[in-house]
Amino acid sequence: MAVSAQPKTFAEREFTITRVFDAPRERVFKAWTDAKELAQWWGPKGFTNPVCEVEAWTGGALHIVMRAPNGTDYPMKGVFEKVRPPSELVFTNVALDKDGRHILEGLTTVIFEDVGGKTKLTLHTHAVAVADDAAAYLAGMDAGWTQSIERLEAFAAAR
């Protein structure tokens, strides 16, 4: 008896955000690569980051646990594939479930351009769902990244 299984096809999302910050490029870049600074703005509005570990060099690890206002933790991990201060970051980003299994796997590129003492930031991200229950994560990606960038903008301006 032969059993034939259909391959699973999972959803994916891809988008780009561009924003100009009223802060120097080195300042904005540091906010992405210094764990203490990253923890202050990463994630949607109302979220905190009780765990934020950053090894900002090519091959270095990234580990963040975002905590929602209701106390739910959302862990993620990644690896920096390229770090070119203060111009570019490329990192994998993997959303994990509570047991450490992959939910989403993605790649994010962040470009930092000097524009007359301000910073033009271009973030491009692509994620693929690798678990059946990943639809909610994909649906919230746009809002999550947009709110994170808004929080970064406020953080960088306050420095």
Q: Report the CATH number that the domain containing residue 124 is assigned in CATH.
A: 3.30.530.20
In a domain? residue 89 = yes
In a domain? residue 2 = no
pLDDT digits (tens, 9 = 90+) for 69-94: 999 999 999 999 999 999 999 999 99
In a domain? residue 122 = yes
In a domain? residue 5 = no
Size (the chain), residues: 159
What range does the domain containing 116 cover? 12-158
Non-local (6+) Cβ contacts of 46 within 8 A are 68, 69
In a domain? residue 21 = yes
Please report the beta strands in 72-151, taking only residues with DSSP state E, as ranges in sequence order.
Answer: 73-84, 88-96, 102-115, 118-129
pTM of the model: 0.91
What's the rounded Cα separation, in Å, for the pair 34 and 54? 7
Q: How many domains are contained in the chain? A: 1
Better-scored residue on pLDDT, 136 or 6: 136
